[in-house]
Amino acid sequence: MTPTAIRIVSQLRQEFYSRFATAMQIPVNITSENSYTSNLSKASWLDSTQQLNYVCIYAHTAPDALVAERPLILRLAVNRGADLAVSTRQGKSSHGLNRNLHFELTLLPEEVLDFLPWIVSLVKSHDTGSSSFGLEPPYPLDFKTSHALSFQNAWTQKASSTLAKQLLPSQEYVPCLNTSQGKLLG
């Protein structure tokens, strides 16, 4: 990641986690790690059943020295993405990691803070056993559910569009696969 991307992610994490802790109105532990490849910084808390939960923000794609034009797209994960780091640090009062709530939201940096009330509502409604929550997401989402893995995944439409533009920057030449002959045609 470029130094600018690292700074943006660090600042967003710090602000989001701080606001999240305030909005949850329960004790939230914020850990800050300097590594961007392991031991993600996160905000963790115990729910009403004393199960450990956490939220973490990390780069899904980011510009770097090799691909400077790559977009910065983030993932905001609830109980997903740092299982090993959290499960080894749980306290004695915890009944383990909450495996019933798993959610990943892929979004742009400018969308992160706008999703804070929505994420808090999602977490609180799950903790109370409510099957729905009243808040609409601040930006349109594309949901993907995998029942086999028992978690949900959503992308903001802006993040999807940004990544698609990166992957297909020009409509002039798009190779297609001719499966009948088993070769790539241009």
Is the model's pTM score more than 0.85? no
Rounded to a whole number of angstroms, the CA Rg of the chain reads: 19
Number of domain units in the chain: 1
> Tens-of-pLDDT digits for all 186 residues of the chain?
999 999 999 999 999 999 999 999 999 999 986 555 556 789 999 999 999 999 999 999 999 999 999 999 999 999 986 544 444 444 555 568 887 888 899 999 999 999 999 999 999 988 888 777 678 899 999 877 654 444 588 999 999 999 988 877 654 444 444 444 433 333
Report the C-alpha gap between 103 and 177 in whole angstroms: 34
Report the C-alpha gap between 63 and 98 in whole angstroms: 33
Residue type, 131: S
pLDDT at 35: 52
> Could you count the other beta carbons within 10 Å of the beta carbon of residue 91?
10
Q: Which strands form 103-107's sheet, in the order they lie side by side?
A: 29-31, 42-46, 52-61, 73-78, 103-107, 151-156, 141-146
| Residue 134, domain extent | 3-185
pLDDT at 56: 95
Report the C-alpha gap between 128 and 73 in whole angstroms: 31
Question: Token pair of 83, please?
Answer: 């299982």
